[in-house]
Each structure stands twice: as C-alpha cells, then as structure tokens.
Chain A
Amino acid sequence: MSPPDPQRVGVPSSRLMTVALLGAGVLALAGGGAFYLASQKALRPVEAGLIPVRVGDKSCEPMDLTVPAGRTVFEIENASNRPIEWEILDGVMVVEERENIAPGFRSQLAARLKPGVYDITCGLLSNPRGKLTVTASAHSEAERAKPPLKAFIGPLSEYKVYLTLQAGQLIQGAKALSSAIESGDIQAARSAYAKARTAYRHVEAVSGRFADLENAIDPVAAYLALREEDPAFTGFHRIELGLWRNSSVADLSPVAEKLIVDVEALRDRLKTVRFEPADLTGYASREARRLAEGAVVSGDSLYAGDDIAEFAAAVDGLEKPVSLLLPLASEASPDVAKAVTDAFAAARAELGKLAGSGAVPVAYTEVSPEARKGLASTFVAIADAIDRINPALGLE
C-alpha cells in the first residue's frame, strides 16, 4: 500500500492512515512514514480556503484565530515530536476533534461553528490553549431568530427524560404511600403523600391534558355531584381527606392501590406524547394560567393545607421545559429570556413570603383572598413571559 498524500487527506483517509500504521503494529513504520511524508509536504502550499494551524511542542501557531460562522475546514499540522489530538472546545465540550495525528502529519477537520469564542488545544494537556473566535454571518444571524428544527431535539429529549424520571418518582411515591397505609402508619403515609404530590406537580402541565387519568388521579370534591361522598371521589385527594381530616387510614387501601395502577398508566402515557418545539412553552403557559384561575385562588389541598409547597413544586415543573429553551431564547432575545427568569423568581419570592419563616409553612387556609390574588398574578406573569418565547424563536 502506498502512503496517502498528506495534502489530500480528508476525514476517512486520515483515519485509515493511522489505523494502517498502528494496525500493522510497527511503530517504526510510523516514524519512517512520517519522515517520508513530512519531507513531501513542504513542496506544496496549503490549499486555498483552509485555515492552517501548526501545533508545536508547546503551543499552536497561531494561538488566536478568527473565522466566520458556518463551515470551516482547518488543516492541522503536527510539528511536535509526539502524536497529538486536536480539539475545538466550547467550555468543556469538544465541538470537533481529530485524534492521533502523527508527528509531521497534516490532517483536515471540518467544523460547522456558531458565533462565539472557543478554545483550541495545542498538544499536551498542560500546554496553554489557543483561542478561536467565530464571528456572526448573515446565516447565523437568521438562525438566531429562527433556529432550525434540530436545535429543538436536545431540549425536547431532555424534557422527556425529566417527565420519565418524575413519573418514576411518582410511582415510587405512590407505592410508598400504599405500603404506609397498609401498615397503618399515618405519619409515614403523610410524608409519602407529600413526596408523590411533588412528583405529580412536576408533570402536571402535561398529565393535566389526559382527562381520563386526571379524573382518576386528581379529582377534587368540589367538582363532583356528591362531593366527598361521591364514588368518583378517588385518587390523591381522597387519600388526603383520610390522612388529614379523618386522621385515619380506614378505607384507603384500595384507593392507594388504584392510584398505583393509575400513575403507572400515566407513566406509559407520558412516554407516548410526541411534543413539537412550540409545546415546551405552550404546555407550561397553559398550566400556569390554569393554576392562576383555579387552584391558587380556591386552594387545592383542602384537607392538608400544604398548597404553598405544592405550588412551589408546580413552579419547578413549569420552569423545567422553559429553562431548556432559555439558551436559544437568550440568543434570540435577551430581553425575553430575562423577563422569563424574572417572572419565575417573582413567583418564588411570593411563595416564600407566604410560607413565612417557621419550620412548617403557613397553612393555605391562613392565606387571605388578597394574598391569593397576588400569588395568582405572579402565575399569570409567568405565562405572559413564556408566551413571548415562541415568537422570539420563530415558532409561530
């Protein structure tokens, strides 16, 4: 096999070359081949349009590069006496890299880069890094205001991971609740209840859309004909009624067992939801308004009275999908991103104020209608702020 022309090596052939050299298991060949190739490369100038980077024993040359956003092809020359890998780093993340460039060899690397400042590695881990500045282009400016579909895959995946993990917590919580009820341990049951509710609040922006499961898991007596006596009064609040108002686990076992079945069904249902990019804020905004109009005003945990903790969990659940879009939103419109962050902070501050400074948060029955209205308005403000994200990202 003849050695590949180092001037022409693209991605696959550079890999083939290193594999061929190492695969042969003869390091002497690498030395000899490198020498041969090194002696050849000086004969030809660097191809036009390539950005040359020469890596020496201690540093890169140049140490400071500027290229426009978009696709750039770098040609890395290993002018040191050890094999090197060359990387473009965005913080700790490797954006692109070329492994194992033998001494004396050149290797090309194509990278599609967004505007920003990156590090480039220059040989040994202890060597100082160089700087790569990527300047905006017309195309990158357009993508800022309207990111391509693939920019949303990561955030959407992460939200699904979150829902999956929270659904897992919810199932665990429901099981712990059921066994505490089974063993008649009211304190343990109350604390398992609170844990399960936190997980439920985290997924509620989505689960609230499944009417059948919502009616099985989370119906409130006020909406049922016979109120607390209604056979359809089941799920969480039926258990809450027993544990707090009645201070008894009587009759709760079958309810708790059914709850496990229902939250397992919820997990499976959540798995099948197919979100569009606009849904990340859409679901959260709708849920924030729903809470502002209903639960925050009327109270939701009528027997336990721990609404403040529940609303705090709800705020976390609303913020999750939105936070996943914030990196894109900050690029597109820093104002919008800031409004969103501020709105969440304001709602949390309001909840903190209402909870008071005691070890146990103030019961919601103690919270005045005016104070409830004030809290509701912070939820509306959250919805208003997140509603600005989709237009800023060209999602409408």
Chain B
Amino acid sequence: MRMSGLVGASALAFILSSGAFAQEASLDLVEPIAEYKIYVSEKLAKLVEDTTAFTDAVKAGEVDKAKELFAPTRLSYEAIEPIAELFSDLDASIDSRADDYEKAEADPEFPGFHRIEYGLWEKNSTEGLAPVADKLLADVKELEGRIASLTFPPEKVVGGAAVLMEEVAATKISGEEDRYSHTDLWDFRGNFDGARKIVDLVRPLIADKEADFLKTVDANFETVDTTLAKYKDGDGYVTYDKLTDDDRKVLAAAVNTLAEDLSTLRGKLGLD
C-alpha cells in the first residue's frame, strides 16, 4: 500500500511538473529576474559614465570627439532596451526620433541622442546642443536612479526580448534609428546582446522541455553574430550603408524569426 502510494505520488508530481500546470509561472524565475536587474544596473552605471564624457565633448564643441563617442555611448542604452517599456517617458526624451515630433528635426521639442546626432552629422556642429546635452545627461542619471528603486515585472522582462526584436524587425532594420550617423550596427549589437541575455537567464527553466525552441533561437542569434562580425571595424562597426542587400536580408530574416519565436517565451514561462 505504502509503496503504491509513493509511486502514485511521484507519478502525480511528474505530471504536475511536466505538463498539466506548465503554464503556471514558477518561483524559478526569481533568480533570473534578479540577475537581469543587476545586469541592467551595471549597464546603466556604464551609460552614465559614457554619457558624461559624450556630453562633455558636445558642450566643449569637440565635434570629432563627440562623433567618436556617440555610438559606443549608446551601446549600453541599446542593451537595456528590452525593458524600455518600464520608462517610456525617459525613453522618449533619451532616444526618440524626429518622426515623433510634428516639425521633425526642426521641432524644438526633438531631444536626446538623436537630436545631438542630427547636429553632429548633418550640421557638423555642436551649436545649440549644450542644453540638449545637459538634459540628456540628467535623463540618464534619472534613469539610473529610477531603475535602482524599481521592481521589475517578470512579464515585462521576459516579454521585452520579443518586443525589442519586433522593433528591430519592424523599423530599425531600415536604418531609421541612426539615420544621420549610420551607426545602426552598433545599436544592433546592443539590442541583440540585451535580448540574448534574457534568453540565457531563463534558459535553465526551459532547457529540457523546449530544447528545439532554444536550438532555433540560438541558431538565429548565431546568424546575427556571424553577419555582424563581417562588418566589424576596430571596437565597433562600419556604417550601415556598407551592409550588402544580401546581408540585410539575412539579418531581416533572422530577426524576424527571433521576434516571432521570442513572442512565445512569456507563455512558455507562464507569464501571459
């Protein structure tokens, strides 16, 4: 009796853990979400440091130096973009595009990195950018402070990987983000690293049940890596216009599949 009871209990435990309740979120997510927040905090510390140097250059009128620092500074921001939905106001003031404003580039409200990018590359000048630079630095500092006291909703972290891949697939792939400097490949590097970090952190939770899914996702991240590697230049990347049509198609296909696949990750972890 006792034996069969044990067998029954373990069979039940097996069923519970492997199928019937697969959609229930598990406390196994606590550790990955905590580690992700620490990852974000480290990126933000770097962002504040780099943005300080970048905005100093802008304010000192050092156009060449500012141009040089633009893309590497953005790298940390782009890496945490999966969770940009948690700070939509600061995301707008740090990283919005001219299209978001009625008068586009001429709109006095057009702020942040891309406003400075426009000045540096289109006007080859830092004229009028000092207040924009001050505001940008204040915004990234506020972001760091705000994130420090923010509890990350797990569904936003896990869902963020897909949301960002969707954005890359839908808009960034056209080269719209860094349209004046064409440093888009740097941003892609940050975006893919940031999205992959999330996948890697939750990997142990789904490694057994979703081996095929992970294989496909990994293969697409690999494709992206291989493609980006072709355009490496020193610590960074060549301009986006150097990307061949064929490679753009390869990237588009990979990111498109990543967006589709990763949109199921929330559900697989019981976070829908």
Chain A residues with a Cβ under 8 A of chain B: 11-12, 15-16, 18-19, 22-23, 25, 82-83, 87, 89, 92-94, 97, 99-100, 112, 124-126, 148-150, 152-158, 160-161, 164-165, 274-276, 324
Contacts and interface: CB of A to CB of B under 8 A. Distances in A.
A324 B151 contact: yes
B249 interface: yes
Specify which of B27, B109, B252 lies most central, judged by the most chain A CB atoms within 10 Å of its CB: B27
Given A23-B252, A157-B152, A100 B171 contact: yes
A93 B85 contact: yes
Most chain B Cβ neighbours within 10 Å, of A18, A97, A100, A154: A154
Nearest to A17: B170
B137 interface: no
Given A93-B88, A94-B88, A276-B27, A154 B152 contact: yes
Nearest to A160: B34
Interface stretch (B97-105, B128-136, B212-220, B223-231): B97-105
25 contacts: A12-B260, A15-B169, A15-B170, A15-B263, A19-B252, A19-B259, A22-B171, A25-B174, A94-B88, A99-B166, A99-B170, A99-B171, A124-B100, A125-B100, A152-B27, A153-B27, A154-B151, A156-B30, A157-B29, A157-B34, A157-B152, A274-B30, A275-B27, A275-B30, A324-B151
B89 A92 contact: yes
A148 B190 CA distance: 34
A157 B26 CA distance: 12
A154 B249 contact: no
Given A12-B260, A157-B30, 18 more contacts: A15-B166, A15-B256, A16-B256, A23-B249, A87-B88, A89-B88, A92-B86, A92-B87, A125-B96, A125-B100, A154-B151, A160-B34, A161-B37, A161-B38, A165-B38, A274-B30, A275-B27, A275-B30
B33 interface: yes
Contact of A153 (B29, B96, B263): B29
B63 interface: no
Given A15-B260, A92-B88, A150-B271, A160 B31 contact: yes
Q: Which 9 pairs from chain A and chain B are nearest by CB?
A: A150-B25, A94-B85, A157-B33, A160-B34, A157-B34, A100-B170, A92-B89, A158-B151, A154-B151
Interface residues of B, number: 49
Contact of A124 (B41, B102, B271): B102
Contacts of A112: 272
Contact of B27 (A87, A156, A324): A156
B22 interface: no
Contacts of A87: 88
B102 A157 contact: no
A212 B200 CA distance: 34
Contacts of B152: 154, 157-158
A99 B249 CA distance: 21
Contacts of A124: 100-102
B171 to A, nearest CB: 6
A93 B147 CA distance: 12
B173 interface: yes
B90 A92 contact: yes
Contacts of B66: none
B25 A149 contact: yes
B151 A155 contact: yes
Interface of B: 24-27, 29-31, 33-34, 37-38, 41, 85-90, 92, 96, 99-102, 109, 151-156, 163, 166-167, 169-171, 173-174, 248-249, 252, 256, 259-260, 263, 270-272
A154 B153 contact: yes
Name the prevailing secondary structure of the B interface residues: helix
Contacts of B154: 150, 153-154, 157
Contacts of A155: 151
A125 B163 CA distance: 20
A153 B25 contact: yes
A281 B99 CA distance: 48
Contacts of A83: 99
A12 B263 contact: yes
Contacts of B169: 15, 18-19, 23
B263 A22 contact: no
A157 B173 CA distance: 34
Given A99-B170, A100-B170, A150-B25, A126 B252 contact: no
- Chain B CB within 10 Å, residue with most, of A82, A83, A156: A156
B170 A158 contact: no
B212 to A, nearest CB: 18
B95 to A, nearest CB: 12
Nearest to B93: A125
A153 B33 contact: yes
A372 B89 CA distance: 48
A317 to B, nearest CB: 16
A290 B155 CA distance: 37
Interface centre among B96, B156, B169 (most CB of A within 10 A): B169
Contacts of B27: 149, 152-153, 156, 274-276
Question: A87, A125, A276 — which one has the most chain B CB atoms within 10 A of its CB?
Answer: A125
Nearest to B24: A149
B270 A150 contact: yes
B183 to A, nearest CB: 19
Contacts of B96: 125
Nearest to B255: A19
A101 to B, nearest CB: 10
A126 B101 contact: yes
A164 B85 contact: no
A100 B101 CA distance: 15
Given A100-B170, A125-B92, A164 B29 contact: no
A186 to B, nearest CB: 33
Contacts of B170: 15, 18-19, 22, 99-100
